[in-house]
């Protein structure tokens, strides 16, 4: 009887699914953001709002690379990769920098290349590789080795070029297929202080790399120089070390190469406008994050979106999203290149998501704000030696995607247990957003340095001009302490980040604002998904993203909206796909309403951005997501790449 009921249910399900339409387009996913415009949009239409609920697992691939931290491998791992699909091959990196090529329809392994990074290093940003990049040498014959190349930056600071067909190093690139990027950036304190965590940008015949440098260690941190190499030979074509223009500042610290030490770095992915020969660079803030009294003007390009001439590295324009950044509000996400209808014209735009939950929409050619930006007065510092910026830029549209104020009366706790958080908030220094850190008293930092938006970026439907962003709403608290007290403060606060900021008078103490139950003190949602109409600049809808099932003491599927890392993608059929939340699900939402249409349980945390492809006219559309969790964020760890398709 039970067997008969099961068969009846299966038959009913199969009858309910509409016929699959095989007349739609085929499409690759040729770069980390879909294309180098980074709209994270696919023209595919086979998976629709009507049939998405019938998606099922097509195949699963395990990389074998995962670390929860141990004596042998001290760094945790995060599987943040988004694969690329080029010439009917699926390419992805593991957190340990293995490069893997798969059959995109079966998940069968084609080849694996292991650069054998030193896993015993203490990697500041944990073990991460978000993606690889593809370049084709059109001057080569079809059968020539390394006509198609896969480029990857490594955790130990190398740039590697591989034959896309075989996975063998391209011997004509650099030194037998690789370049040591650590050379020239200054002496490292430890292995892992300087990493490459995001995919290199490809612009014409150039491969361009930034870096991720350890935060808050020292004033003379390794240089954040951006470098462009010839994609065929590996010769250096240009470098930009973020030094202020017409430099009249004296005694700026430099490496032996001449590159500026302590400069802003570029750890997030870049975007490319080939037609205009423009490279869009999201910059971090100078070292260290929370005290800027000794920067001597080197944050001129800090926390900015910078347009470089891609072929030469020359600065075309730059727009600063945070002046004299003292909050680790570095620009965290890949810029997105799209077109915005405005005042009767179609404006070539670059949209930049930020940790403040602000979206800056700028003219791609000039850097001018499309909707306008207002400089508003902000709180000032009383820390000796600090010089706070008097104002900060606020876009007039779109509105902020996260709150900018948190009062003690807003304190949250389950079952009315908010008194602890209310007392904690009353003890913190707070004068509003951009309240600078204080000496000897904890300061509320809201939004926190982990979001609004983070490295997952945004997705844009370029036909309907709708932008989708996932954001995080978590409060933090920071405090400056005299450097002489660094060791004693670190010993007294074993569960808190205490960083030396060597070379300055002040060390840093920083932590998320949580109750003794480990739950945020600010009210939910702590994570949400929002859609923005780029024609009007208005928010269309905003809804909680994720349940507390995998982060609460009791696994209840309550849709509070939870912290998230990763990003969304959009298809032409009107679907948003996203995992990101800390509850081990991937979901599909209706683009126009925000209604959830499908969800599936992942084998581990989905802190990555999904992608999709269809490689032949009679083939299926596949949806792929890395499900390997995030060691530092505490989601469930694993090593799976999961592909979904219709039955």
Summarize pLDDT for 462-480 with one digit per residue, the tens: 999 999 999 999 999 999 9
Q: What's the pLDDT score for residue 524? A: 96
3-state helix, strand, coil in the chain (%, to 5): 5, 35, 60
- Report d(CA 601, CA 590) in Å as an integer: 19
Q: What's the pLDDT score for residue 469? A: 98
Summarize pLDDT for 207-217 with one digit per residue, the tens: 999 999 999 99
Whether 5 is covered by a domain: the verdict is no
Q: Which residue has the tokens 């099932």?
A: 549
Structure tokens at 123: 């990697």
Which domain range does residue 266 map to? Answer: 20-246+253-638
* Exposure string over 486-511, b if 16+ CB within 10 A, otherwise e: beebbeeeeeeebbbbbbbbbbbbbe
Could you tell me if 162 and 149 are in contact, meaning their C-beta atoms sit under 8 angstroms apart? yes
Query: Measured at the alpha carbon of residue 118, what is the angle toward residues 117 and 121, in degrees to the nearest 5?
Result: 130
Whether 4 is covered by a domain: the verdict is no
- Grouping H, G, I as helix, E, B as strand and the rest as coil, residue 118 is coil
- Report d(CA 2, CA 4) in Å as an integer: 5
Taking Cα atoms as reference points, which of 628, 475, 510, 494 lies closest to residue 80?
628
DSSP string, 193-231: SEE--SPPEEETTEEEE--EE-TTSBTTPPP--EEEEET
Whether 546 is covered by a domain: the verdict is yes
Q: In what order do the strands lie in the sheet with 133-136?
A: 133-136, 148-153, 158-163, 178-180
Read off the DSSP letter of residue 436. Answer: P
Whether 202 is covered by a domain: the verdict is yes
Could you tell me if 302 and 285 are in contact, meaning their C-beta atoms sit under 8 angstroms apart? yes
Q: What's the pLDDT score for residue 552? A: 74
Calculate the average pLDDT of the chain: 95
Whether 3 is covered by a domain: the verdict is no
Q: For residue 262, list its beta bridge partners.
A: none
Q: Which residue has the tokens 């913190």?
A: 428
- Report d(CA 211, CA 179) in Å as an integer: 14
| E strand or H helix that includes residue 426 | helix 419-426
Structure tokens at 224: 């954040």
Could you tell me if 614 and 621 are in contact, meaning their C-beta atoms sit under 8 angstroms apart? yes
Q: Which of 215, 328, 330, 461 is catalytic?
A: 328
- Report d(CA 586, CA 211) in Å as an integer: 29
Contacts of 21 (CB under 8 A, 6+ apart): 45, 46, 48
Read off the DSSP letter of residue 415. Answer: G
Whether 284 is covered by a domain: the verdict is yes
Whether 10 is covered by a domain: the verdict is no
Low-confidence ranges of the chain (pLDDT < 70): 1-15, 247-250
Query: CATH number, domain at 411?
Result: 2.140.10.10
156 catalytic, yes or no? no
Q: What's the pLDDT score for residue 518? A: 86
Task: Name the burial class of residue 420, with classes exposed (0-12), middle (13-18) and buried (19+) by CB atoms within 10 angstroms of its CB.
Answer: middle
Count of the separate structural domains present in the chain: 1
Q: What's the pLDDT score for residue 414? A: 85
- Report d(CA 259, CA 246) in Å as an integer: 15
* Exposure string over 274-310, b if 16+ CB within 10 A, otherwise e: eeeebbbbbbbbbbbbbbbbbbbebbbbbbbbbbbeb
Whether 432 is covered by a domain: the verdict is yes
pTM over cut 0.85: yes
- Report d(CA 202, CA 279) in Å as an integer: 9
């Amino acid at each position: 009887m039970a067997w008969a009921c099961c068969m009846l249910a299966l038959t009913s399900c199969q009858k309910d699914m509409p016929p699959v339409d095989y007349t739609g387009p085929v499409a690759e996913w040729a770069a980390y953001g879909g294309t180098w415009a980074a709209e994270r949009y696919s023209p595919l239409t086979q998976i629709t709002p009507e049939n998405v609920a019938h998606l099922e697992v097509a195949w699963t691939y395990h990389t074998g690379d995962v670390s929860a931290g141990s004596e042998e491998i001290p760094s945790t791992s995060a599987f943040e990769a988004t694969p690329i699909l080029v010439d009917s091959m699926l390419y992805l990196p593991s957190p340990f920098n293995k490069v893997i090529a798969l059959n995109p329809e079966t998940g069968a392994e084609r080849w694996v290349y292991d650069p054998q990074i030193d896993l015993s290093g203490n990697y500041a940003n944990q073990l991460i590789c978000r993606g690889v990049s593809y370049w084709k040498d059109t001057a080569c014959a079809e059968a020539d080795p390394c006509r198609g190349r896969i480029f990857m930056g490594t955790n130990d600071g190398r740039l590697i070029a591989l034959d896309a067909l075989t996975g063998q190093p391209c011997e004509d690139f650099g030194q037998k297929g690789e370049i040591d990027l650590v050379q020239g950036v200054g002496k490292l304190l430890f292995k892992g202080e300087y990493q490459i965590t995001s995919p290199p940008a490809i612009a014409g015949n150039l491969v361009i790399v930034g870096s991720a440098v350890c935060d808050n260690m020292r004033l003379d941190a390794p240089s954040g120089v951006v470098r462009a190499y010839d994609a065929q030979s590996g010769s250096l074509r240009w470098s930009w070390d973020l030094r202020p223009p017409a430099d009249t500042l004296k005694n700026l610290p430099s490496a032996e190469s001449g590159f500026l030490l302590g400069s802003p770095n570029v750890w997030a992915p870049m975007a490319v406008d080939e037609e205009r020969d423009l490279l869009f660079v999201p910059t971090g803030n100078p070292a260290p994050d929370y005290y800027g009294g000794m920067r001597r003007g080197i944050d001129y390009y800090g926390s900015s979106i910078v347009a470089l001439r891609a072929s030469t590295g020359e600065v075309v324009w730059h727009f600063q999203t945070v002046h004299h950044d003292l909050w680790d509000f570095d620009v965290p996400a890949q810029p997105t290149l799209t077109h915005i209808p405005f005042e009767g014209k179609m404006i070539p735009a670059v949209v930049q998501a930020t940790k403040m939950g602000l979206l800056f929409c700028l003219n791609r050619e000039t850097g001018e704000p499309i909707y306008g930006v207002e400089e508003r007065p902000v709180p000032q510092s009383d820390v000796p030696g600090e010089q706070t910026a008097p104002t900060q830029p606020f876009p007039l549209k779109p509105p902020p995607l996260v709150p900018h104020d948190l009062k003690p009366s807003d304190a949250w706790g389950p079952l009315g247990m908010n008194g602890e958080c209310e007392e904690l908030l009353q003890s913190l220094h707070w004068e509003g957003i951009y309240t600078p850190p204080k000496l000897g008293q904890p300061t509320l930092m809201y939004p926190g340095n982990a979001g609004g938006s983070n490295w997952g970026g945004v997705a844009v439907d370029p036909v309907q001009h709708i932008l989708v962003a996932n954001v995080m709403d978590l409060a933090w608290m920071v405090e400056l302490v005299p450097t002489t007290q660094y060791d004693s403060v670190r010993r007294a606060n074993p569960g808190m980040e205490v960083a030396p900021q060597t070379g300055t008078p002040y060390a840093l103490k920083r932590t998320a604002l949580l109750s003794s139950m480990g739950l945020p003190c600010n009210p939910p949602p702590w994570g949400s998904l929002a859609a923005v109409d780029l024609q009007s600049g208005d928010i269309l809808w905003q809804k909680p993203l994720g349940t507390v099932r995998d982060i609460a003491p009791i696994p209840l599927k309550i849709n509070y909206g939870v912290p998230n890392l990763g990003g969304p993608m959009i298809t032409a059929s009107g679907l948003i796909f996203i995992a990101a939340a800390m509850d081990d699900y991937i979901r599909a939402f209706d683009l126009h309403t925000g209604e959830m249409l499908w969800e599936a349980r992942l084998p581990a945390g989905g802190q990555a951005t999904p992608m999709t492809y269809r490689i032949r006219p009679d083939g299926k559309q596949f949806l792929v997501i890395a499900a390997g969790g995030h060691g530092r964020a505490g989601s469930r760890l694993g090593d799976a790449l999961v592909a979904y398709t219709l039955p």
